[in-house]
């Protein structure tokens, strides 16, 4: 007999830890300044440069959480109004503060700075004519159109734009269709996204455009949505957990095997962008879908283990749950939104003030000690800035959510 459907309307602390893991992956990727490929430096460079996949973990988690909220509340009389206002209170205040600072305050201030300081600010790029796309959460299309990242602060918003576009459409879909149909839509979206990327590859589209266009990244959101819908069926979580036990090792071996194969066929060099580079055709085509499924499987295993512990408090705790429920990861998850928006300009600031050069110094014939120190400094400063943002700004907007509760 299938087990009872868990109550997913209660907050699961481990999901904050999953979000924390995602932001750390993204930050580690962007903090990498390693140029040496000798010995341990080469291994570290590979690991650091594979952190780009943290965005895909964010997408899977977002699809899971948002679909769960929408499905659980679609009988609410103010379903649309409540969802959109609560999302706006979470996302808009900080995002638009950063956009205002980047497009209005910073250029105005630069005009009054010495030439050397202006030159440093110029590296953040110019997006004349496309500013409105950043205000309208269409920055991913602006980047795709240009075929390049042009703004050192706001380029990071491409993934936020994709999520916002998802939030705009998905509530209506969830409201009008049954769970069975929604599951089929999710499966179709996964296949469509994979096929869309293959078509873009075939037509020779710029790889950056392929990476940031919304249809290209629907599969990760759809994987998370699929999980949210299936676990709300009797026995659904158990079925997914059983599948995840197979998926995780198989997909993990595929990803590692791809990296090892390229290592041995490219003179012992994996490449600048890590074990599974986002610029490789196999990753651009099927690899992004495989990554989404892999992260979805990890999410399922963690949620299943957490639900077992809730049902049986005396049961032995899962190591996966202990990791994601750790105070450190949950804290990073709590402040992850501001950390995501702040970390690129703060990285540049730390690099200029501490390193005063682009290349890391060698210590004991290795760049790794300097890289680790730089990474810790950047993460620490970004965390502090995000903590201040949360306590001085964000939480006051979030406090308004109490006026827009689901019934």
CB contact set of 145 (below 8 Å; sequence gap of 6+): 130, 209
Residue 180 confidence (pLDDT): 97
- Whole-angstrom Cα distance, residue 179 to residue 144? 34
pLDDT in tens, 226-272: 999 999 999 999 999 999 999 999 988 887 777 677 666 654 455 44
Residue 37 confidence (pLDDT): 73
Query: Quick one: how far is CA 224 from the chain centroid?
Result: 12
Q: Domain of 20?
A: 13-403
Positions in the chain whose pLDDT score sits under 50: 1, 267-268, 271-273
DSSP 114-134: -HHHHHHHHTT---TT-HHHH
Residue 183 confidence (pLDDT): 98
For residue 8, being part of any structural domain is answered with no
Residue 1 confidence (pLDDT): 47
For residue 3, being part of any structural domain is answered with no
Structure tokens at 227: 């999980």
Instruction: Please give the helix or strand (H or E) that residue 288 lies within, else none.
Output: helix 288-311
Residue 266 confidence (pLDDT): 57
- Whole-angstrom Cα distance, residue 394 to residue 88? 12
Structure tokens at 404: 């827009």
For residue 5, being part of any structural domain is answered with no
- Whole-angstrom Cα distance, residue 98 to residue 154? 8
Query: Quick one: how far is CA 104 from the chain centroid?
Result: 27
Residue 41 confidence (pLDDT): 81
Residue 46 confidence (pLDDT): 80
Residue 121 confidence (pLDDT): 64
How many H helices and E strands in the chain?
A: 20, 0
For residue 380, being part of any structural domain is answered with yes
- Whole-angstrom Cα distance, residue 326 to residue 22? 14
For residue 7, being part of any structural domain is answered with no
Residue 274 in contact with residue 50, Cβ under 8 Å? Answer: yes
Residue length of the chain: 407
Residue 135 in contact with residue 129, Cβ under 8 Å? Answer: no
For residue 4, being part of any structural domain is answered with no
Residue 125 confidence (pLDDT): 60
For residue 174, being part of any structural domain is answered with yes
CB contact set of 324 (below 8 Å; sequence gap of 6+): 14, 15, 17, 18, 20, 21, 302, 330
- Whole-angstrom Cα distance, residue 217 to residue 242? 26
Structure tokens at 101: 């600072």
For residue 223, being part of any structural domain is answered with yes
The 10 Å Cβ neighbour count of residue 176 is 10
b/e map 356-385, b = 16+ CB within 10 Å: eeeebeeeeebbbebbeebbebbbebbbeb
The count of domains in the chain is 1
CA dihedral 196, 198, 200, 204 (to 10 degrees): 180
């Amino acid at each position: 007999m299938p087990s009872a459907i868990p109550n997913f309307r209660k907050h699961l602390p481990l999901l904050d830890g999953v979000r924390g893991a995602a932001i750390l992956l993204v930050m580690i990727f962007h903090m990498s300044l390693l140029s040496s490929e000798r010995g341990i430096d080469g291994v570290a460079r590979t690991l650091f440069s594979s952190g780009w996949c943290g965005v895909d973990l964010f997408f899977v988690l977002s699809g899971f959480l948002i679909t769960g909220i929408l499905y659980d509340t679609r009988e609410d009389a103010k379903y649309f109004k409540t969802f959109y206002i609560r999302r706006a209170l979470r996302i808009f205040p900080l995002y638009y503060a950063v956009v205002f600072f980047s497009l209005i305050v910073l250029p105005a201030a630069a005009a009054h700075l010495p030439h050397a300081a202006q030159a440093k600010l110029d590296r953040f790029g110019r997006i004349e004519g496309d500013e409105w796309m950043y205000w309208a959460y269409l920055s991913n299309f602006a980047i795709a159109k240009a075929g390049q990242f042009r703004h050192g602060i706001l380029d990071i918003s491409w993934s936020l734009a994709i999520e916002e576009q998802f939030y705009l459409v998905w509530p209506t879909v969830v409201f009008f269709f049954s769970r069975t149909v929604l599951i089929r839509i999710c499966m179709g979206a996964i296949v469509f996204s994979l096929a869309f990327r293959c078509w873009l590859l075939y037509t020779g589209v710029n790889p950056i455009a392929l990476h940031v266009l919304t249809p290209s990244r629907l599969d990760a959101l759809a994987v998370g949505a699929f999980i949210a819908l299936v676990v709300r069926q009797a026995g659904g979580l158990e079925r997914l957990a059983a599948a995840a036990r197979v998926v995780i090792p198989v997909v993990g071996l595929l990803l590692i095997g791809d990296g090892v194969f390229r290592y041995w066929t490219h003179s012992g060099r994996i490449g600048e962008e890590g074990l599974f580079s986002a610029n490789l055709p196999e990753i651009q085509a099927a690899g992004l879908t495989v990554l989404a499924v892999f992260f979805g499987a990890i999410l399922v295993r963690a949620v299943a283990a957490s639900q077992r512990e809730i049902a049986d408090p005396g049961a032995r705790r899962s190591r996966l749950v202990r990791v994601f429920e750790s105070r450190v990861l949950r804290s990073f998850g709590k402040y992850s939104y501001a950390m995501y928006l702040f970390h690129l300009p703060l990285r540049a600031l730390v690099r200029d003030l501490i390193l005063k050069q682009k290349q890391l110094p060698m210590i004991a014939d290795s760049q790794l000690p300097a890289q680790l120190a730089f990474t810790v400094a950047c993460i620490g400063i970004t965390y502090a800035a995000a903590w201040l943002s949360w306590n001085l700004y964000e939480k006051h907007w979030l406090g308004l959510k109490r006026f827009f509760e689901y019934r």
